[in-house]
A = this chain, B = another copy of it.
Amino acid sequence: MRRFMVLALASLAVLALPALTQERAATLDGFSPDGARAEQQLEEKFRAIPSPDNMRKSMQLLSAHPHHVGSPYDKQNADWILAQYKQWGWDAHIETFNVLFPTPKERVVELVAPTHFVAKLQEPAVPQDPTSNQQSEQLPTYNAYSIDGDVTGPLVYANYGIPADYDELERHGISVKGAIVITRYGGSWRGIKPKVAAEHGAIGCLIYSDPHDDGYSEGSVFPEGAYRPKEGVQRGSVADMPLYPGDPLTPGVGATPDAKRLPIKDALTITKIPVLPISYGDAQPLLAAMGGPVAPAAWRGSLPITYRLGAGPARVHLKVASNWDMKPVYDVIAKIQGSTEPDEWIIRGNHHDAWVNGADDPISGQVDELEEARAFAELIKGGWKPKRTIIYCAWDGEEPGLLGSTEWAETHADELKQHAVVYLNSDTNSRGFLSAEGSHAFEPFVNDVARSIMDPEKNISVWKRLQARRIEMARTTKEKDEIEKQPNLTIEALGSGSDYTAFLDFLGISNIALAYGGEAGGGVYHSVYDDFYWYTHFGDPTFAYGKTEAQTMGTAIMRLADADLLPYDFTALSATLKRYEGELETLSQTTHDQIRETNRALDEGVFTAASDPTQTYVPPKREESPQDLNFTLLKQAIDTLSKAAEHYAQVHSRVMQNGGSALASASLASVNQKLYMTERALTSDKGLPGRPWFKHQLYAPGFYTGYGVKTIPAVREAIEQKQWQLAQEQIGVVSGVLEKAAAAIDGAASALDGAVH
């Protein structure tokens, strides 16, 4: 196939770098020969424009003061960003939504027995860090959308606070009913911790940063090093976003002035129990005061104590009270009208709000997006006319709950479903390796883009560097071999945790998320220390990777905006589906085996026989015999989709013969619409079981992992929850969706065939 020939060339090219320029003269997927040449010249011009100096200046300005939702500087930043776009000639405006955004009124964490200790809940200013002392402007350390509460109870340590951790507590005879649970950050998205704690009967939840995962164990702490200092706290939302993100009061619709709003008490995404985040400085006296069984080895962090499970003698008083106010969020929306296909929209976004000063999160991504926008403006002055409409967004309210992007996507759902080709997202960016996530029909396209971008630290493409990284990190030589031999690097599926969520999961719009990271390290996430001082010392001091990120995203967007034929490759999708289906069968088998083995071990008294009689040990519960799952329908549907993908690939291969010269004269508008509608065909109107907001049937954030993705989630989560009947039903539902998608792909293939012959 044509694509693989291109890739083979590319692969050689990145080995011998002087050849990189020659590669750029090769065929470009979806472009005619003339188009490809022109595009590559434009892209090269583009990649020379983004300026690290501008990025540094913009970051210094945008992170000069705390700029959370509802703060004066949040509005000031939105206005400044709007002014930039306008000054560069974009058609820009601010779109405002009104959302529920609680801020702390009262916060108390105190040990009341066996001794007394009051947690500081305060991040001290650091002399050499000029913005760390803006206490009057800073949001206190808290978890947004914690319910108000005033509770006192024994403390239980629940590790990362995921469901399996409560199974382990049960083995030790520890119940969290009536207890306050202390969990550590990591292992899941933070919002999962109070949710699962409440499901198990806890009355309150603390989340602390253990120095093992986030502190001195990893390196020197701020300000000497990049890592979380003793009093550093990770703020963050705990709204139950795996149910629905966005304003808790307006699920599924935009939070416009006239939107119908739920009463606060009916907002399902507010936590059921009060929760606060604390530093390891505050956590240590609490943990050290605990009794009960010694925590399992994997639960122990790096504090100089014996980690114990509780409950008792440590008792804690936890109080949380918030101002439950409505606040405005300001989305900056800027547009370049497409020249020939104005109704096909390429959308790109990065949020501008932060928990505090937020230099890394999100300004490091925001300043790159701004430089892309400035560069596009320059190209347009030079005569560039993108075929498709380009929409650049600077979202507000991402931190509390993806508010700005979700409300905008919900408000404009109908037109977005009609016109949106792809949504490209970024958030934080720092030194390191490319991270590539998104819709798998874009996997080859993303690889092509990555082959066009030079790594600023090494004289190779970012693709080659990522391949090297993956080879190095792979554990077995077999895995290393496989990575080395794959023409394309796999891209990851998207879960949640940033603004792409509504576009992908609610609207079924193809997504791409590209960013750099992995070398900066650091532990200032969502603290007052995530600021200009930190970023320019540890994140990306020269903004070299800021420039690289702008080059990468801009190149992808230009190619998508200019292509005659959108660069979908459904064979990448069908290969991914086969992998997922295999995983589901393995998961089902493994779960079956585990249930059978556990029940047999219970019958034979294995757990009781092996336990230490001086310790409390409760054997696991006997489980119901699992139902055998029949995957035939799913495999058939994937087969159908694979055939459709192969059909499209054959037509596409013919179209791209002779460098794609057939594209020059073809009329492709309806083909392209059919292409981007294939992602919509992967959704179901009913959504996922129990959470109808999530329509996409291939990707979703896990109900019990939060940010972590679950692929083919309706089936996978049913198996994980051992809901066999539901799993079997959902195999049918997903199969139906895949048959629908296969028909859409087949339709696109036929349309393309017709359009060029």
Write the residues of chain A forming the contact surface with B, with a CB cutoff of 8 angstroms.
15, 211, 216-221, 225, 294, 300, 302-307, 431-432, 457-458, 460, 464-465, 468-469, 471-472, 477-478, 480-481, 484, 519, 590, 593-594, 596-597, 600-601, 604-610, 612-614
Closest residue of B by beta carbon distance from A301: B302
CB of A594 within 8 A of CB of B220, answer no
Partner of A304, one of B211, B294, B480: B211
- Do A477 and B593 form a contact, CB below 8 Å, given A458-B613, A614-B519? yes
15 contacts between A and B (CB under 8 A): A216-B305, A217-B307, A218-B294, A220-B306, A225-B306, A431-B612, A465-B610, A468-B605, A469-B610, A477-B590, A477-B596, A480-B597, A484-B600, A519-B612, A519-B614
- Do A471 and B601 form a contact, CB below 8 Å, given A464-B609, A590-B477, A609-B458? yes
Query: How far is B458's CA from A605's CA once the two chains are assembled, in angstroms?
Result: 11
Partner of A472, one of B219, B220, B596, B610: B610
6 tightest Cβ-Cβ pairs between the two chains A and B = A468-B609, A477-B593, A468-B610, A468-B606, A304-B304, A472-B610
Q: Find chain B residues with CB under 8 A from A304 CB.
A: 211, 216, 302-304
Partner of A457, one of B307, B468, B480, B613: B613
Measured CB to CB, the closest approach of chain B to A599, in angstroms, equals: 11
Q: Find chain B residues with CB under 8 A from A608 CB.
A: 458
Query: How far is B541's CA from A614's CA once the two chains are assembled, in angstroms?
Result: 12
Query: How far is B294's CA from A217's CA once the two chains are assembled, in angstroms?
Result: 9
Q: Find chain B residues with CB under 8 A from A596 CB.
A: 477
Copies of this subunit? 2
Query: How far is B58's CA from A671's CA once the two chains are assembled, in angstroms?
Result: 91
CB of B216 within 8 A of CB of A472, answer no
CB of A594 within 8 A of CB of B477, answer yes
Q: Find chain B residues with CB under 8 A from A601 CB.
A: 468, 471-472, 480
Measured CB to CB, the closest approach of chain B to A569, in angstroms, equals: 26
Measured CB to CB, the closest approach of chain B to A606, in angstroms, equals: 4
Query: How far is B478's CA from A590's CA once the two chains are assembled, in angstroms?
Result: 10
Q: Find chain B residues with CB under 8 A from A478 CB.
A: 593
Q: Find chain B residues with CB under 8 A from A458 CB.
A: 608-609, 613
Query: How far is B216's CA from A375's CA once the two chains are assembled, in angstroms?
Result: 58
Q: Find chain B residues with CB under 8 A from A590 CB.
A: 477
CB of A609 within 8 A of CB of B294, answer no
CB of B472 within 8 A of CB of A606, answer yes
Residue among A471, A481, A601 with max Cβ neighbours from chain B (10 Å): A471
Query: How far is B594's CA from A597's CA once the two chains are assembled, in angstroms?
Result: 35
Measured CB to CB, the closest approach of chain B to A433, in angstroms, equals: 8
Measured CB to CB, the closest approach of chain B to A521, in angstroms, equals: 9
Q: Find chain B residues with CB under 8 A from A465 CB.
A: 609-610
Closest residue of B by beta carbon distance from A606: B468
CB of B219 within 8 A of CB of A306, answer yes
Query: How far is B737's CA from A164's CA once the two chains are assembled, in angstroms?
Result: 51
Measured CB to CB, the closest approach of chain B to A306, in angstroms, equals: 5
Measured CB to CB, the closest approach of chain B to A504, in angstroms, equals: 30
Measured CB to CB, the closest approach of chain B to A475, in angstroms, equals: 12
Residue among A304, A469, A519, A612 with max Cβ neighbours from chain B (10 Å): A304
Query: How far is B718's CA from A84's CA once the two chains are assembled, in angstroms?
Result: 68
Query: How far is B294's CA from A458's CA once the two chains are assembled, in angstroms?
Result: 23
Q: Find chain B residues with CB under 8 A from A606 CB.
A: 468, 471-472
Query: How far is B468's CA from A432's CA once the two chains are assembled, in angstroms?
Result: 48
Q: Find chain B residues with CB under 8 A from A211 CB.
A: 304
Measured CB to CB, the closest approach of chain B to A25, in angstroms, equals: 24
Q: Find chain B residues with CB under 8 A from A612 CB.
A: 431-432, 457, 519
Query: How far is B306's CA from A597's CA once the two chains are assembled, in angstroms?
Result: 42
Q: Find chain B residues with CB under 8 A from A225 CB.
A: 306
Query: How far is B457's CA from A362's CA once the two chains are assembled, in angstroms?
Result: 59
Q: Find chain B residues with CB under 8 A from A303 CB.
A: 304
Partner of A302, one of B219, B300, B480, B610: B300
Measured CB to CB, the closest approach of chain B to A145, in angstroms, equals: 33
Measured CB to CB, the closest approach of chain B to A237, in angstroms, equals: 29
CB of A306 within 8 A of CB of B217, answer yes
Inter-chain pairs besides A216-B305, A303-B304, 18 sampled, C-beta below 8 Å: A15-B604, A211-B304, A219-B306, A220-B294, A225-B306, A458-B613, A460-B605, A460-B609, A465-B609, A468-B601, A468-B610, A471-B610, A477-B594, A478-B593, A480-B601, A481-B597, A484-B604, A519-B614
Query: How far is B294's CA from A302's CA once the two chains are assembled, in angstroms?
Result: 15
Residue among A15, A472, A478 with max Cβ neighbours from chain B (10 Å): A472
Query: How far is B302's CA from A216's CA once the two chains are assembled, in angstroms?
Result: 11
Closest residue of B by beta carbon distance from A221: B306
Closest residue of B by beta carbon distance from A280: B304
Measured CB to CB, the closest approach of chain B to A124, in angstroms, equals: 19
Query: How far is B458's CA from A15's CA once the two chains are assembled, in angstroms?
Result: 65
CB of B469 within 8 A of CB of A294, answer no
Q: Find chain B residues with CB under 8 A from A472 CB.
A: 601, 606-607, 610
Partner of A216, one of B306, B469, B480, B604: B306
Query: How far is B481's CA from A605's CA once the two chains are assembled, in angstroms?
Result: 15
Measured CB to CB, the closest approach of chain B to A355, in angstroms, equals: 26
Query: How far is B594's CA from A15's CA once the two chains are assembled, in angstroms?
Result: 22
Q: Find chain B residues with CB under 8 A from A460 CB.
A: 605, 609
Closest residue of B by beta carbon distance from A469: B610
Q: Find chain B residues with CB under 8 A from A477 CB.
A: 590, 593-594, 596-597
Q: Find chain B residues with CB under 8 A from A484 CB.
A: 600, 604
Query: How far is B542's CA from A614's CA once the two chains are assembled, in angstroms?
Result: 13
Query: How far is B609's CA from A305's CA once the two chains are assembled, in angstroms?
Result: 40
Query: How far is B294's CA from A221's CA once the two chains are assembled, in angstroms?
Result: 12
Closest residue of B by beta carbon distance from A456: B613
Measured CB to CB, the closest approach of chain B to A542, in angstroms, equals: 11
Closest residue of B by beta carbon distance from A432: B612
Measured CB to CB, the closest approach of chain B to A238, in angstroms, equals: 28
Measured CB to CB, the closest approach of chain B to A651, in angstroms, equals: 36
Residue among A221, A590, A614 with max Cβ neighbours from chain B (10 Å): A614
Query: How far is B431's CA from A629's CA once the two chains are assembled, in angstroms?
Result: 45
Query: How far is B306's CA from A150's CA once the two chains are assembled, in angstroms?
Result: 37
Query: How far is B294's CA from A220's CA once the two chains are assembled, in angstroms?
Result: 9
Closest residue of B by beta carbon distance from A481: B597
Measured CB to CB, the closest approach of chain B to A457, in angstroms, equals: 5
Partner of A294, one of B219, B432, B610: B219
Q: Find chain B residues with CB under 8 A from A607 CB.
A: 468, 472
Measured CB to CB, the closest approach of chain B to A153, in angstroms, equals: 24
